[in-house]
Structure 1
């Protein structure tokens, strides 16, 4: 298991990554009320634009009223295409009274976490 936490200001995000055979399961949580807001499944495949590159197809299950789907899809699809693995991401980040700037910080932190996971799992 890989367990990574990254924070900036009052935004703190944790990622736990588990290898399940050749597949990968990642739990992303953070903020004031961690929860399950979205689940994604990404499956690697040849890119539609360049068959020599790997891309991924992603399915999304989002809980009503939650906005974790964009974050989960980014992490899931990026990990799947870069690592050439089936990837499930469970994501739930909630920060009370989050500002637009803090949303941008959250996205930046998710990208950093994703890059760090790729580095540790590649």
Structure 2
């Protein structure tokens, strides 16, 4: 398994992506801010529509990072050779309007870094054999 880390910093906080690969599949962990965590999963596949699952963050609320993981998913989709799981969660304590306003652009930039890396480093498919 190969791992690669990417990061974007703006308005006093960092959003990062840790990319892991198994065969032609991709696992991306999107974290950052003051409290990195896992709260959403976005599934990207050339064989089905993108889907996001958001877990509860506190009573009556769900994690909102799907907005970011779905943006990254849209950017990297053309570079995928097979499936991708994007797991994400970032929390900036007492986030300001300016910090919130740059989050989408940060996700876009992070997705572009990942996309460019995937395009530059394709994987040969390991063929599965079945009995």
Does TM, normalized by the shorter one, top 0.5? yes
Please list, as runs of the form range in 1=range in 2, the aligned pairs for 1:15-94 lying within 5 A after superposition. Answer: 15-45=17-47, 57-64=49-56, 65-94=62-91
- Give the CA RMSD over aligned residues: 1.5
Any gaps of 5 or more consecutive residues in structure 2? Answer: 57-61, 120-131
Instruction: Give the corresponding residue for 1:106.
Output: 103
Instruction: Give the corresponding residue for 1:52.
Output: none
CA–CA separation in structure 2 for the residues paired with 1:22 and 1:72: 20
8 Å Cα contact 1:79/1:85 also seen in 2: no
- Higher alpha-carbon Rg: 2
In the TM superposition, residue 84 of structure 1 has moved relative to its aligned partner by: 4.2
CA–CA separation in structure 2 for the residues paired with 1:11 and 1:61: 25
Question: Normalising to structure 1: TM-score of the pair?
Answer: 0.83
In the TM superposition, residue 40 of structure 1 has moved relative to its aligned partner by: 1.1
Work out the number of aligned pairs and report it: 112
8 Å Cα contact 1:72/1:89 also seen in 2: yes
1:28-58 deviation line (CA, Å, top 9, x unaligned): 100010011101111115xxxxxxxxxx621
